[in-house]
């Protein structure tokens, strides 16, 4: 610890050419270095890095990309957040932007680019609790039955779509985890699949009989037909796009949005709604909270507990509707 402190002091001392020169680095160049650090060292997901990069680009749009880090102060950062509120930014967006800027300047300080962290006292607005979108069990059953009906004519894309929907709901995986699945990750005998989650953490999750039947049908007929349309570059991918490449998140969003919107009563809803629904239905059925946490790949039990709130809300709604003394 003492050695690390000495090295940092050397970086920051004028005689070592630390902050005196590094502080002249402009916002644009420092942003590129930080995003590379997030990708290569911290190994954050591409989506997270893209979001942080966009936040820094927005800050650079306000302050100027050539602005030296050493010239940025707390008031400028507060003004930037305030301008975002005037443009209609939500609380969640403001919270993410605050986290991005605090993380960026914390890194810049630790790396010796600046002496004092201007974002140290930057406070994110309090976020209200928003319960996740969840479809009723009967509604999810209906949409999966409809997907099975569409797959009966043997169209490869329809067969794949059914397998995608069944796997998302049957295993409660994230869309990025589904798109990253490989053929070798499946264990049909145990009905489990190995996925790589946030922070490159691997876990093995179970999936049910319905998902197993849908995926088996897809592997036997639809996948070979889709693979033949491509150049073979995605030969190890489990789920393929219509042209034979690896299925991407955007395509999965479109598949789920078309299928799920009637079930949850919203026109814009993505794959995460199936994950939310699966988690809530597991808890409604008596599953242990920690088992659900492990299945979902949540680092914190507190993240999983949001689904207990959903279950409580549903119970309260049923009580108000049905109990004669409500």
Q: Which long-range contacts (CB under 8 A, 24 or more apart) does 294-300 make?
A: 294/203, 295/171, 295/172, 295/205, 295/206, 296/172, 297/174, 297/177, 297/195, 297/197, 297/198, 297/201, 297/203, 297/205, 299/198
Q: Which tokens hold the place of 201?
A: 């953490």
Contact status, residue 292 vs residue 282, Cβ threshold 8 Å: yes
Contact status, residue 65 vs residue 102, Cβ threshold 8 Å: no
Q: Are strands 192-196 and 202-206 parallel, antiparallel or unpaired?
A: antiparallel
Contact status, residue 80 vs residue 93, Cβ threshold 8 Å: no
Q: Characterise 191 by phi-psi region: left (phi > 0), alpha (psi -120 to 50), beta (else).
A: left
Contact status, residue 266 vs residue 205, Cβ threshold 8 Å: no
Helices then strands, each counted (H, E), the chain:
16, 3
DSSP secondary structure letter of residue 15? G
Radius of gyration of the chain (CA): 24
Residues making up the chain, counted from first to last: 326
- Catalytic residue IDs: 174, 198, 272, 275, 298, 307
3-state secondary structure 100-166: HHHHHHHHHHHCCCCCCCCCCCCCCCCCCCCCCCCCCHHHHHHHHHHHHHHHCCCCHHHHHHHHHHH
């Amino acid at each position: 610890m003492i050695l690390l402190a000495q090295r940092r002091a050397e970086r920051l001392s004028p005689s070592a050419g630390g902050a005196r020169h590094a502080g002249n680095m402009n916002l644009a160049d420092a942003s590129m270095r930080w995003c590379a650090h997030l990708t290569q060292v911290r190994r954050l997901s591409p989506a997270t890095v893209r979001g942080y990069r966009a936040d820094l680009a927005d800050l650079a749009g306000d302050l100027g990309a050539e602005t030296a880090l050493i010239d940025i102060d707390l008031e400028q950062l507060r003004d930037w957040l305030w301008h975002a509120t005037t443009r209609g930014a939500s609380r969640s967006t403001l919270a993410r932007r605050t986290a991005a800027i605090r993380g960026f300047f914390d890194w810049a300080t630790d790396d010796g680019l600046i002496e004092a962290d201007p974002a140290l006292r930057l406070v994110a607005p309090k976020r209200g609790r928003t319960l996740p979108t969840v479809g009723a069990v009967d509604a999810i059953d209906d949409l999966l039955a409809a997907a099975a009906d569409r797959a009966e004519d043997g169209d490869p894309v329809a067969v794949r779509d059914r397998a995608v929907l069944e796997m998302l709901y049957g295993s409660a995986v994230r869309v990025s985890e589904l798109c990253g699945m490989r053929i070798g990750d499946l264990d049909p005998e145990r009905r489990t699949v190995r996925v790589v989650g946030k922070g490159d953490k691997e876990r093995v999750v179970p999936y049910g009989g319905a998902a197993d039947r849908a995926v088996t049908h897809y592997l036997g007929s639809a996948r070979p037909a889709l693979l033949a349309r491509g150049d073979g570059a995605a030969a190890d991918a489990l789920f393929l796009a219509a042209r034979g490449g690896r299925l991407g998140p955007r395509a999965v969003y479109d598949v789920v949005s078309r299928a799920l919107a009637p079930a949850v009563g919203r026109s814009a809803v993505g794959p995460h709604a199936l994950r939310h629904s699966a988690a809530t239905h597991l808890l409604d059925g008596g599953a242990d909270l920690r088992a659900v946490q492990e299945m979902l790949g949540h680092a914190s039990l507190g993240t999983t507990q949001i689904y207990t709130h959903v279950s409580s809300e549903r119970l309260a709604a049923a009580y108000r509707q049905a109990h004669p003394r409500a």
